[in-house]
Each structure stands twice: as C-alpha cells, then as structure tokens.
C-alpha cells in the first residue's frame, strides 16, 4: 500500500524529507503543565499522534510572550528555563520518524478577558461576536517598538525550538490571530508602514520570517499558516492571499498551509461563507489549488478532511502537496496508519443544529478539546458526547485554568 500517493515522501525546498503526505495540523490543546511547559499529559497526547503514522506533526499554539496566550493552560516558550521538557516533547513527536514543527502564535485582539492581561493588536478594534464579545479583552494598538520586539520574540522562540530538537517552526498568520489581524484591512487601520497597502500589512509577517531564518540553520524548516480568506466583507481575500504567497516565494519558506476564517467567521469548523467545498470536506481545497499554482514552495491544505478518498483527491491535485488533518486526528489518531494498510476508516463530522453559529463553533471546539484531553490521559475518545454538557464543563474548566494562570502571573511578578 506504500505506493499510494498519500504515502509518498515529500522533499521540501531546504532538503528536508517528510515520509508521507499526511500532517497532523495544529490544534489548541490547553494542556500545558503548571509552568506552561509540555508535561506528561501533552507528551502522552503527542505520542498517540506519532504512533498514528502522520509524516508531519505540527504542535498546537506555542506562545512567544507569557502575557499573551491564545487560551488558558497554553504552552509558552520565551526562554530556556523549561527547555528539557520541550526536548522531551520533540523526542516524542519524532519517535516514529515524523518531522516535528513547533507552531508560534500570538492572540493579538483574540485574547480572552478572563486571563487578566492587556490585549495588543495592529489597531484598537475589539472582537465583535454577538453574544460573546465581552469574553475578549479590549485591545490597544501596538507601537513601532513593540512590533519590533514581537518580531524578535518569534525569532527567539524559533531558536529555542531548534535547540529543543524540533525540525521546524510554523508561523501562524491565519484564523484571526495577530499576524492575520495585520493582514486584514478590517482589523488593521494603521497609517504607518505596518498598515494600509497589502505590502505594509504583510510587513510584520515578512520581517518575522526573515528574522527567524537569520537565526536558525538552513536545514531547519520555516513554514507559514495563511488564511485563504477571512470570509468577511472587506476583509482579507483570496487575491490578497495569492499576493502574500508571491512575496513568500522570495523568501526561504519551506511550506505554506492554507486554512481560513477567524473567531468572527469560524470557517475552521466548516462554516464557510463562500460555498466552495468538496462534498462538505476539504473546505479550502479549491482556494489552495489556485494559491498553489503561484506558490514555489509546497502547499498544504487543512480543514474538514476525514475520508481517505477525499484526501486522495486533494493530494492528486498538482497544486497541493500535503493534506493537513486536525479534528479527524482528535477522534482517531491512528487514521494515517489505518489508511496505509488499506482500511477505509473515516470520521463523522461534528454536527450541532443550534441557530447561533458562534455558540456552535464554541461547542464544536469544546468537543474536540475533550477528545484531546481523553487521549492525553490514555483513554479512548468519545465522539457521541453531549454538545451542551461538554460546552458547560469546558467553560468551567476554562475558568479554573484562567484562575490558575492569573495566580501564576502574580507569582512570576509579570
């Protein structure tokens, strides 16, 4: 069965070899230990994915700034204090031959208010989701000095990731997080060199890639996660994404992952507004194909893929080199190995019929995170759990984790 296109190796521009075309895409786990480092639970979770046969494992959000978490119990890597634990994490991820990339991310304005920290963003524009907007902190605009400081933080985290034994990093510029906020004209109203034209809005991403690459070895992979579109009128659009990829072509970028949406338009859960889907799977496939025609580096598409036949359609496209899976591997981490042996195993999509799409997105996220928590404890997943009860228990857990984070911040004197 190794003759299947899905299980052919992929050679990246810097010479790195990925053993197959299936990647475990990033998911936020909220499973860091009391020091916001990878502890036993996170290692146990990633061992299941390593054993499951994915050729590339991309971690969930890792923060370069302890004051800016995408969620409570998030992993932070801004110094070498707990580097041994990150080394253990890298060993686990690579234990079955997979490449292991650490995803670096910053929430920007998508910072939860209950974390008690100040939100920073390109512009002082708050998250606006009906019914849950108050859950997010009101942001202020970043200064020029702070922008340069952030770029240095990303480079520092990449250096630490390399020292820990990861084989690459992924710079997150999608899903409405900080770099995505800079790219979108809806959230970037700046009039300096970091706003206005697309060239200016993409500047922080370009400068960060340059800074990272200047401090890591040539064989260390540098990748980018990019929105195909925001799916909001007047926001970051497909044409913008294509232009950004053309700029990335001029840099030593080894892979671009295409996804889409933000907290305000949750295409990550499949609620796209463009109608361009492939059997309600591979949400961003058609976008990725068009972007892939101009990209000089391999393109990976993530979003909704859960059946082997769909993955094969995607990978047979001349414009797409890798298939990223997240939700499917939360429910069945052994899916790549099963597909390799000819098992046509598939994962059912999570369906919730509530009218409020924002609450649907939050509930789906809670269900996925519950599966991650079960796997981290060495337990079997539970696909059929109640959305309402899972959402309630998830919110209670989040509150506990937020209190723990605020206590940790106070103890650290941050």
Helix (H, G, I), strand (E, B) or coil at 320: coil
3-state helix, strand, coil in the chain (%, to 5): 40, 15, 45
Pairing of strands 10-11, 17-18: antiparallel
| CA angle, 206 then 68 then 299, to 5° | 40
Return the pLDDT at 275.
Answer: 40
Give me 63's structure tokens: 């923060």
Return the pLDDT at 101.
Answer: 99
Contact 51, 340 (CB under 8 A): no
Q: What CATH number does the domain located at 5-412 have?
A: 3.20.20.70
Q: In angstroms, rounded to a whole number, what is the distance separating the alpha carbons of residues 349 and 314? A: 18
Helix H or strand E segment including 101 = strand 99-104
Return the pLDDT at 94.
Answer: 98
Residues of the chain short of pLDDT 50, as ranges, are 1, 268-277, 279
Kindly tell me the sign of the dihedral angle through the C-alpha atoms of 260, 280, 296, 256: positive
Burial of 114 (0-12, 13-18, 19+ CB in 10 A): middle
Helix H or strand E segment including 206 = helix 203-215
Return the pLDDT at 267.
Answer: 52
Return the pLDDT at 263.
Answer: 74
The domain ranges of the chain are 5-412
């Amino acid at each position: 069965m190794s003759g299947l296109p899905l299980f052919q190796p992929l050679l990246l521009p810097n010479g790195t070899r990925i053993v197959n075309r299936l990647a475990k895409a990033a998911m936020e786990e909220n499973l860091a230990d009391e020091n916001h480092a990878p502890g036993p639970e996170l290692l146990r979770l990633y061992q299941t994915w390593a054993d499951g046969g994915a050729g590339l494992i991309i971690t969930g959000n890792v923060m370069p700034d302890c004051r800016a978490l995408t969620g409570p119990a998030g992993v932070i890597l801004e110094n070498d204090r707990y580097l041994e634990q990150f080394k253990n994490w890298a060993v686990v991820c690579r234990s079955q031959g997979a490449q292991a990339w650490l995803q670096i991310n910053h929430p920007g304005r998508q910072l939860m208010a209950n974390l008690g920290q100040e939100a920073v963003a390109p512009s002082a524009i708050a998250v606006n989701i009906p019914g849950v907007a108050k859950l997010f902190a009101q942001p202020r605009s970043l200064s020029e000095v702070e922008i340069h400081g952030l770029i240095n933080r990303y480079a520092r985290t990449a250096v630490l990731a390399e020292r820990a034994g990861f084989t690459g990093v992924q710079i997150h510029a999608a899903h409405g997080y900080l770099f995505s906020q800079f790219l979108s004209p809806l959230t970037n109203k700046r009039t300096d060199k970091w706003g206005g034209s697309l060239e200016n809005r993409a500047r922080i991403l370009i400068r960060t890639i340059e800074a990272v690459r200047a401090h890591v070895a040539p064989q260390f992979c540098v990748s980018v996660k990019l929105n195909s579109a925001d799916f909001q009128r007047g926001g970051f659009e497909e044409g913008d994404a294509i232009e950004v990829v053309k700029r990335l072509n001029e840099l030593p970028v080894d892979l671009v992952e295409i996804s889409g949406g933000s907290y305000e338009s949750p295409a990550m859960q499949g609620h796209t507004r463009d109608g361009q889907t492939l059997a309600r799977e591979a949400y961003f496939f058609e976008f990725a194909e068009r972007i892939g025609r101009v990209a000089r580096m391999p393109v990976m598409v993530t979003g909704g893929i859960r059946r082997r036949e769909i993955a094969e359609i995607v990978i047979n496209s001349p414009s797409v080199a890798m298939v990223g899976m997240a939700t499917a591997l939360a429910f069945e981490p052994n899916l790549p190995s099963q597909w390799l042996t000819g098992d046509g195993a598939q994962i059912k999509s999570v369906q919730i019929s509530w009218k409020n799409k924002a609450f649907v997105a939050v509930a789906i996220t809670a269900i996925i995170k519950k599966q991650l928590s079960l796997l981290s404890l060495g337990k079997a997943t539970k696909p059929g759990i109640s959305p309402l009860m899972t959402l309630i228990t998830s919110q209670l857990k989040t509150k506990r984790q937020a209190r723990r984070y605020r206590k940790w911040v106070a103890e650290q004197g941050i």
